[in-house]
Amino acid sequence: MKNETLKLIVREKYSQIAEKSLLDEKVSCCGGSSCCDEQEFSMIGDDYKNVEGHLPDADLGLGCGLPTEFAKIKAGDTVVDLGSGAGNDCFVARSIVGDSGKVIGIDMTESMITKAIQNSQKLGYKNVEFVLGDIENIPLEDESADVVVSNCVLNLVPDKQKAFSEIHRILKKAAHFSISDVVLIGELPPALQHEAEMYAGCVSGALQKEKYLGLIQEAGFTDISVQKERRIQIPEDVLLNYLSAEEIENMHKSGFGIFSITVFGRK
């Protein structure tokens, strides 16, 4: 699919999730809540319950990690969250940067921005901002961020090389990012590669782990390290929507795996 088509798929899917949330309907997808229909599945992100700054209304269960835990954020930092959704990771970051810092959430979905602003107003924050924008063309000045975080979003960006180049551009010298994302080891079966729902569910847009890390290096980052890694299991009943029982068995035998990783890199 063309890049613009992929972006449209993602924007429509995540708009649906945000709009359900704005109506206070039960939501979930890619995580612990439940926008899921028969063609979707839960990524089961990390548990935020005991994380300072966590706001349940902002946690739509769309993550696959907890990047703020590893991001080495300090009081007074300017933190940018790419694909900020309803604001959950922004509010966690705000609890660390305090009144002297700043947090900026970037999202390409208008209804997510609306939901995030509502959540921020409930908390009364004056130094948390949400901006409509594309990660391939981040609407921020050069060298304006101390830390960039992102949670299960870069895999949804068609041009990941451009996205990492933009992250490099907005980071200050010697600043860093910590990003949680989905990567692959082994070949994704062709029937899953072309499924729009699997793309919106963070799987068919994922890269091979080594290629993903290679793009980070090509963008000019140093001190690259995988801070956390865990395997993600797609439920058998979901796979059967796309693959035969024999194809599923062959996939398991091949050593193929889907992994959530949290990656660190420094400018």
Torsion of CA 126, 129, 130, 136, to 10 degrees: -170
State the pLDDT at residue 202: 57
Q: Please name the residues in contact with 50: beta carbons below 8 A apart, sequence gap of 6 or more.
A: none
Q: Sorting pLDDT into bands at 50, 70 and 90, what band is 16?
A: confident
pLDDT tens figures, 110-134: 999 999 999 999 999 999 999 999 9
Q: Sorting pLDDT into bands at 50, 70 and 90, what band is 30?
A: very low
Residue type, position 213, single letter: L
pLDDT tens figures, 201-212: 556 578 899 999
State the pLDDT at residue 45: 63
Q: What is the distance between the alpha carbons of residues 228 and 219, in angstroms, rounded to a whole number?
A: 21
State the pLDDT at residue 37: 43
Strands 145-151 and 171-185 come out as: parallel
State the pLDDT at residue 34: 36
Burial class of residue 228, CB neighbours in 10 A (0-12, 13-18, 19+): middle
Phi, psi of 146 (to 5 degrees): -85, -35
Q: Where are the alpha helices (DSSP H) in the chain?
A: 3-22, 88-97, 110-123, 160-170, 190-193, 196-200, 209-218, 236-239, 245-253
Least confident of 16-20, 60-64, 251-255, 257-261: 16-20
Query: Among 80, 222, 77, 73, which Cα is nearest to 141's?
Result: 80
Mean pLDDT throughout 221-247? 87
Which domains are seen in the chain, by residue range? Answer: 3-266 (3.40.50.150)
* Summary mean pLDDT of the chain: 85
